Copies of this chain bind each other. A is one copy, B any other.
Amino acid sequence: MATDNRNIHRKIGRSTTRTKCPTPFLSKTYDLLEEQEEENNNNNNIKVVSWNGEGNGFVVWCPDEFSEVMLPKYFKHNNFSSFIRQLNTYGFKKVASKRWEFHHEKFQKGCRHLLAEITRKKCEPSVFPTYLNPSKKSTLLLARNNQENTTRQLLMEENQNLKKEKMELQLQIAHFKTLEMKLLQCLSQCVENPHNKTRRLF
């Protein structure tokens, strides 16, 4: 089984933006390339995987060996297609027809810090039955959905406003209570010392 220290620091990344970490897939793929680069330099074996010449992408030279030997070291599988699926999820592009060469603007040799800027392509969950064609989706159901969302949105806004108004009213009441106390104090002093007219009320 692949060792899995992933996300050991990602909790930090989730709560703050400045310390965010790349996802396990990106870190591991980068690690894999760095470590294999080491291997490639230390012997003259045929390369399995490497950065490309410009360092702005990488090439899987031997998909079979890559899948059987390297993938299980870093991931929980040995399927080339699963690896490719992940690359696609993160927006990598296959840039050659005869080689398994992939590029991503933020995936470059020597630039590990860029990894944190790579994001998964978000696929928002479809609310619509698959048997409906796109035009129907965009008219009927989308409209209905929008209407519901709008209603909820309006209710939530009204809710927020009401809470704010409530808070302001409570603040006013607090002020009135303070004022009342002071007035009563003054009154009692006034009654006790009726001649002390120089005393300032507030």
Interface contact A194-B187, CB-CB below 8 Å: no
A14 to B189, CA, bound (A): 65
A137 to B179, CA, bound (A): 61
A159 to B2, CA, bound (A): 52
* A37 shortest CB reach to chain B, Å: 25
Residues of chain B with a CB closer than 8 A to A184's CB: 183
5 closest residue pairs by CB, A with B: A194-B194, A125-B126, A176-B176, A162-B162, A169-B169
Give the oligomeric copy count.
2
Interface SS of A by simple majority: helix
A10 to B195, CA, bound (A): 77
> Quick one: closest B residue to A125, CB to CB?
B126
A180 to B175, CA, bound (A): 11
State the A residues within 8 Å of B (CB): 1-2, 4, 72, 76-78, 124-131, 137, 148, 151-152, 155-156, 158-159, 162-163, 165-166, 169-170, 172-173, 176-177, 179-180, 183-184, 186-187, 190-191, 194-195, 197, 201
Interface contact A126-B126, CB-CB below 8 Å: yes
- Which of B130, B152, B187, B201 interacts with A128 by CB under 8 Å? B130
Q: List 6 A-B contacts (CB under 8 A).
A: A1-B77, A126-B126, A158-B159, A172-B173, A176-B179, A187-B201
A177 to B184, CA, bound (A): 14
Residues of chain B with a CB closer than 8 A to A126's CB: 125-127
Task: Please name 6 further chain A to chain B contacts, defined as beta carbons within 8 Å, in addition to the given A4-B77, A125-B125, A162-B163, sorted by A numbering.
Answer: A1-B72, A151-B152, A162-B162, A173-B173, A176-B179, A187-B190
* A96 shortest CB reach to chain B, Å: 30
Residues of chain B with a CB closer than 8 A to A78's CB: 1
> Quick one: closest B residue to A79, CB to CB?
B4
Quick one: given A1-B77, A76-B77, A155-B156, are A191 and B183 in contact (CB under 8 Å)? Answer: no
- Which of B130, B177, B186 interacts with A187 by CB under 8 Å? B186
> Quick one: closest B residue to A71, CB to CB?
B1
